[in-house]
Amino acid sequence: LQPPGTGSRGRSGDLKPEEIVRLEEDRVVLLDQRRLPDEEVELECRSAAEVAEAIRAMAVRGAPAIGIAAAYGYALAAERGEDLDEAAAVLLASRPTAVNLAWAIAELRKADDPRACAREIHLQEIDRCRRMAEHAAGLVEPGARPLTHCNTGGLATGGYGTALGAIRAAFAQSLVEHVLVTETRPLLQGGRLTAWELDRVGIPSSVIADSAAGSFMGRGEVTHVFTGADRIAANGDTANKIGTYALAVLAAHHEIPFYIVAPSSTVDLATPTGAEIPIEERDPSEVTPRFPARNPAFDVTPAALIGAIVTEAGVHRAPYEESLSRPTPAGAAR
């Protein structure tokens, strides 16, 4: 990872990995995503429990970034001499849906050098992002007007991004004209974070209300839908931010390709189908503090609605039971 203050990768304005999350001598430091874009404030976590609380409260969110933050939190706990069973348990309990968290903790528990292992996980996730983005960009034709949901950029992954990385790679190849960003209620990860990231790197975009996505599809203003994933079951069923399922149904209705872009750390072959993925219900007051509300944070999109799942290994097509279980999918270059 580059030290703070040195040149960013490529375009000015691109977020540096260490700006998003890093392990210092005695603390995990992360950009508090709850306060973006209005304020760029760092949050310091001095124990595994504080990292877990930052994840629970969504100061850091996005499946890969959660895994990275948890890895740094576990490494911090190891160096501080915390009870590591307890540290692992508190980190694992912070959010239930994203599988990257469990994956990262399992990697750390095997490691001789937790700090080096956590940094390696961070670097590998960024490398995976760049590789999956190149694969996914191959699915895009010139003049593309993709729609994306939630935030799957550098903030969500520790650098570069999954679905947003794919859009960035396609834009760099002059394939993308404009990006529609669903604001992603209740916490507005699209309207706050994705719009901010696209603005920083100069990609033309417009934020829309989540409810408007279908209408823009009906008007012919959406050529592709790209989203990330919080957990992908062995059969391809994919849990992702609430609203993803509706976008997949709407995309199918309009015959618009719908693609998932996520690292292999998000694929959970131990979960056979989406029915077995736990769906987090968050505090209803995030929706409205005044009236009764329901606030599922995720939904499950059935594999049948997914045109392709793109990982760093390539472009996985149905039947996903087969393509996800192979190290390199057939026809990766489409």
Scanning residues 220 to 249, which ones bind its own copies (CB under 8 A)?
A: 242-243, 245-246, 249
Q: Is 110 in the site for its own copies (CB under 8 A)?
A: no
Among residues 102, 176, 232, 250, the one that binds its own copies under rule CB under 8 A: 250
Contact call for residues 195 and 181 (beta carbons, < 8 A): yes
Taking the C-alpha atoms of residue 198 and residue 79, their distance in angstroms, rounded to an integer, is 37
- Cα 204 to chain centroid distance, Å, stands at 21
Taking the C-alpha atoms of residue 77 and residue 87, their distance in angstroms, rounded to an integer, is 7
Taking the C-alpha atoms of residue 167 and residue 179, their distance in angstroms, rounded to an integer, is 8
**Phi/psi-derived region of residue 131, left when phi > 0, alpha when psi is between -120 and 50, beta in every other case:** alpha
Among residues 3, 39, 174, 291, the one that binds its own copies under rule CB under 8 A: 291
Q: Is 277 in the site for its own copies (CB under 8 A)?
A: no
Q: Is 37 in the site for its own copies (CB under 8 A)?
A: yes
Q: Is 41 in the site for its own copies (CB under 8 A)?
A: no
Shorter beta-carbon distance to its own copies: residue 214 or 257: 214
Taking the C-alpha atoms of residue 101 and residue 287, their distance in angstroms, rounded to an integer, is 25
Q: How many residues in the chain?
A: 334
Scanning residues 125 to 184, which ones bind its own copies (CB under 8 A)?
A: 149, 180, 182-184
HSE-up (13 A, CA, CB side) for residue 59: 23
Block residue for tokens 């950009």: 31
CB of 242 to its own copies, least distance (A): 5
Assess whether 230 carries a catalytic annotation: yes
Position 35, amino acid: R
Size of the site for its own copies (CB under 8 A): 46
Q: Show the binding pattern over residues 186-215: x = contacts its own copies (CB under 8 A), - = does not.
A: x----xx--xx--x----xxxxxxxxxxxx
CB of 238 to its own copies, least distance (A): 13
Return the C-alpha torsion angle 249, 168, 202, 98, nearest 10.
60
Taking the C-alpha atoms of residue 69 and residue 55, their distance in angstroms, rounded to an integer, is 8
Q: Is 185 in the site for its own copies (CB under 8 A)?
A: yes
User: Which position among 14, 26, 38, 230 bears the catalytic label?
Assistant: 230
Position 28, amino acid: V
Q: Would you say the C-alpha torsion 13, 17, 23, 24 has a positive or negative sign?
A: negative
CB of 250 to its own copies, least distance (A): 6
Shorter beta-carbon distance to its own copies: residue 116 or 212: 212
Taking the C-alpha atoms of residue 217 and residue 45, their distance in angstroms, rounded to an integer, is 42
CB of 206 to its own copies, least distance (A): 5
Shorter beta-carbon distance to its own copies: residue 19 or 299: 299
Q: Is 81 in the site for its own copies (CB under 8 A)?
A: no
Q: Is 290 in the site for its own copies (CB under 8 A)?
A: yes
Taking the C-alpha atoms of residue 21 and residue 70, their distance in angstroms, rounded to an integer, is 10
Q: Is 275 in the site for its own copies (CB under 8 A)?
A: no
Span of 96-104, 114-122, 227-235, 285-293 interacting with its own copies by CB under 8 A: 285-293
Write the DSSP assignment of 142-161 as a string of letters.
TTB-EEE-S--BHHHHTSSB
Shorter beta-carbon distance to its own copies: residue 192 or 317: 192
CB of 213 to its own copies, least distance (A): 7
Position 249, amino acid: V
Catalytic residue positions?
230
List interacting residues with its own copies (CB under 8 A).
Answer: 37, 149, 180, 182-186, 191-192, 195-196, 199, 204-216, 218, 242-243, 245-246, 249-250, 252-253, 284, 287-288, 290-296, 299
